[in-house]
Amino acid sequence: MQSDAIHLAFCFDRNAWMQCGVSMTSLLETDKKSEYAIHLVCPPGFWRDVLIEDMSKYKNATLEFHTPVEKDFENAHTLRYWSKAMFWRLQLGNLLKNLDYVIYADNDILFNDSLRPLWSDVIKHKGTELIWGVKDNINCPSFQKWFQEEIINHIRKNHMMLSYVNSGFLVMNLAQIRKDKLYGLWKDTANRPRFFPDQDILNMTCFKRIKFLPFKYNVTNDVATCEEIVADYLKFGLFTEKEICDKPVVLHAVGSNKPWKTRREFQLIDYLFWKYAKLTSYYGILFQDYLKCDYVPE
Ligand SMILES: [Mn+2]
């Protein structure tokens, strides 16, 4: 592996290892030239062997497994369909002690272009921002109407309007996170009830020390179905029209409408998910589960 490898991390428990495999497949099928050092934070289990075997055909990538310290988030607050694995991203500074930066991606992300340009920006960057991320659609009034007033008040109260980022795709400045000893704070406050647990923690503790990424690094599935959100993005200056129309690098299936469990007319993200799922050794299991699912969005 060349020293200029792009360092990328995923975190998952036994419920999401197949989705992580599909996400990695999408990246390595899309970019066969760049070298990737992929860090997988997950408990030990048979999935490690399956992923190693499946990914062995990609000579431009190495996989390294890291076991999360699960007890640190045993009492952490979760809600909706989220698992405690969402907090493991907060451990990357400790687990990847030799790295100054890492790109973190959720398992519900599909890649549509190389991460090389982003990583080139990362390695020449001199700033002390703690995280880099894309502004979240929660910043948009037309999106907020779907949430309880409480969430909006919570964001307003914490002065996060128009600067709240989505935590599904991040560049993390691990050196600065270690230097500022943020892990202790993150761990100790994770048991407090929050609307978007790990995402709120990151936004509140990194506030004003966040570098905003272009929209193409976190294109959420609601953009394809809700034109009000796009109108708000432009109206409130979150993104320019050109940014919104740029070729997506990262597509993110936010909310409960996941490509592997939602019966609906296909969007680009669903197409990409099944296109790459088909190249994995567990496609049959994914597709059987999909046929059994009965979730149809309104
Ligand atoms: Mn996600």
Domain chopping of the chain, boundaries: 6-292
Q: How many CA atoms lie within 13 A of 43 on its CB side?
A: 9
Name the stretches of the chain with pLDDT < 70: 1-3, 144-151, 154, 156-161, 294-298
pLDDT digits (tens, 9 = 90+) for 119-129: 999 999 999 99
Q: What mean pLDDT value characterizes the chain?
A: 90
What pLDDT score does 280 carry?
Answer: 98
Bridge partner residues of 40 (DSSP): 10, 65
Q: Report how far apart, in Å, the C-alpha atoms of 106 and of each of 110, 192, 250 are.
A: 9, 22, 10
What pLDDT score does 149 carry?
Answer: 67
CB under 8 Å to 178, separation ≥6 — which residues? 93, 94, 97
CA of residue 73 to ligand 1 center, whole Å:
19
Which residues sit with Cβ closer than 5 angstroms to ligand 1, an ion?
106, 108, 168
**Is the whole model's pTM more than 0.75, yes or no?**
yes
Instruction: Tell me, rounded to whole angstroms, the distance of Cα 107 from its chain centroid.
Output: 7
Position of tokens 């070298």? 35
What pLDDT score does 148 carry?
Answer: 61
What pLDDT score does 243 carry?
Answer: 93
What pLDDT score does 146 carry?
Answer: 62
CA of residue 279 to ligand 1 center, whole Å:
22
Domain 6-292 CATH class label:
alpha beta
CA of residue 4 to ligand 1 center, whole Å:
27
For the chain, the farthest-separated pair of C-alpha atoms sits apart, in whole angstroms, at 50
